[in-house]
């Protein structure tokens, strides 16, 4: 089969379209004929092996343990491994896997769910990683409630576009932060207010938010806390920047150390990949409360260039990769 693979860490130049062996589903896994995959920030980190802490977390010290890139997928189940009871051959599913930039990929049955109605089926590839992150950050870490003022930093990104829509679905007053060229997109997602960070400062001492979701990762804790209400919550969702060794984990560690001594609730966050919440996303889609913001649809061969555009911040919403 054709796949976008790499044998070493580095920039997008290490990626190449080549023939690799079609994977075989193991116990509890299914084989998916990929209809579409999608880009998320993790793809860049796994491609580069940065921050280096990532390599110590089981992804491979000197080279990627899984050479094929891509983690978000939608497609048709072609085969099932031993112990699979939730799905059968022919089911259309979406979810999280390793190696979705390919014609076929394997996924665990507890990390996939039926494709929701209400959107083009291939668009479901854009839901899993970014959608789960936004959902759990708002609902679980942020404990969002109706009437709260919510600020989403990076509102035009993969996670941000879902966070704006879900916060509105939960009854919050939502302000999105993005660059000039992306303000109309964020408004179209339902944001009550949009702040162009190139022209306006959100931490101006005038406006205060009950909950801030920061997906950008390039602002200090003191700066972010200036925009919180006295008992507000700050959820730190990944982001870029930081050193080569631990990246934004330095900010996460500072937040954990500071949290016991301040009135604000500072919450580092990492999403859990589970079927139950994929099904929740599906229900929001079917209720008309959540729609993937698709920026581009690119063929498999153009995945490396699409990753570069995403890393440079040029993408709005999600980019689909189709085999």
pLDDT in tens, 228-277: 999 999 999 865 555 565 555 677 778 888 888 899 999 988 899 999 99
Q: What is the pLDDT of residues 98-148, one digit of tens each?
A: 999 999 999 999 999 999 999 999 999 999 999 999 999 999 999 999 999
Residue 58 confidence class, pLDDT cut points 50, 70, 90: low
Q: What is the mean pLDDT of residues 75-92?
A: 97
Q: Cα 234 vs. chain centroid, distance in angstroms? A: 18
Q: What is the pTM of this model?
A: 0.93
Least confident among 11-20, 38-47, 53-62, 80-89: 53-62
> Residue 62, CB half-sphere, CA atoms under 13 Å: how many?
0
- Position 242 scores a pLDDT of 57
Over residues 294-320, the pLDDT tens digits come to 989 999 999 999 999 988 878 788 999
* pLDDT > 90: percent of the chain: 76
pLDDT(205) > 90:
no
Q: What is the pLDDT of residue 258?
A: 86
- Confidence label for 198 from pLDDT (cuts 50, 70 and 90): very high
Pairing relationship of beta strands 92-96 and 104-108 according to DSSP bridges: unpaired
Q: How confident is the model at residue 245, as a pLDDT?
A: 54
Please report how many Cα atoms fall inside a 13 Å half-sphere around the Cα of residue 170, on the Cβ side: 23
pLDDT for the residue numbered 243: 58
**CA–CA distances in Å: residue 319 to residues 126, 137, 153, 323:** 8, 22, 19, 13
Alpha-carbon span 47 to 195, nearest angstrom? 32
The mean pLDDT value of the chain amounts to 92
Closest to 125 (Cα-Cα) out of 110, 140, 139, 107:
107
Q: Which residues pair with 30 in a beta bridge?
A: 80, 107
CB atoms within 10 A of CB 313: 14
Q: Dig out the tokens for 252 from the structure.
A: 């996460």
Q: What is the pLDDT of residues 275-294, one digit of tens each?
A: 999 999 999 999 999 999 99
Tokens representing 284 are 């929001």
Q: Give me the pLDDT at residue 49, please.
A: 78
pLDDT for 262: 92
């Amino acid at each position: 089969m054709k796949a976008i693979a790499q044998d070493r860490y580095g920039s997008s130049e290490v990626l190449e379209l080549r023939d690799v062996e079609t994977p075989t589903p193991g116990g509890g896994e299914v084989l998916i004929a990929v209809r579409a995959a999608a880009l998320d920030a993790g793809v860049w980190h796994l491609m580069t092996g940065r921050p280096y802490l990532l390599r110590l977390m089981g992804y491979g010290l000197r080279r990627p343990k899984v050479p094929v890139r891509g983690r978000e997928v939608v497609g048709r189940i072609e085969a099932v491994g031993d112990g699979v009871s939730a799905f059968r051959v022919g089911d259309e599913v979406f979810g999280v896997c390793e190696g979705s930039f390919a014609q076929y990929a394997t996924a665990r049955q507890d990390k996939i769910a039926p494709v929701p109605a209400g959107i083009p089926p291939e668009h479901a590839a854009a839901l899993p990683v970014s959608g789960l992150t936004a959902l759990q950050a708002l609902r679980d870490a942020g404990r969002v409630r109706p009437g709260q003022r919510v600020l989403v930093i990076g509102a035009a990104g993969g996670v941000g576009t879902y966070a704006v829509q879900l916060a509105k679905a939960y009854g919050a007053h939502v302000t999105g932060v993005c660059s000039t060229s992306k303000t109309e997109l964020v408004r179209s997602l339902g944001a009550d207010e949009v702040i162009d960070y190139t022209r306006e400062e959100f931490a101006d001492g005038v406006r205060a938010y009950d909950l801030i979701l920061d997906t950008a990762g390039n602002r200090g804790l003191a700066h972010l806390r200036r925009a919180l209400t006295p008992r507000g919550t700050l959820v730190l969702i990944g982001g870029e920047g930081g050193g080569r060794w631990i990246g934004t984990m330095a900010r996460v560690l500072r937040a954990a150390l500071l949290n016991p001594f301040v009135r604000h609730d500072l919450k580092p966050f990492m999403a859990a990949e589970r079927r139950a919440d994929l099904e929740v996303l599906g229900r929001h889609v079917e209720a008309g409360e959540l729609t993937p913001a698709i920026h581009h649809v690119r063929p498999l061969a153009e995945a490396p260039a699409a990753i570069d555009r995403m890393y440079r911040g040029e993408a709005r919403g999600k980019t689909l990769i189709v085999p």
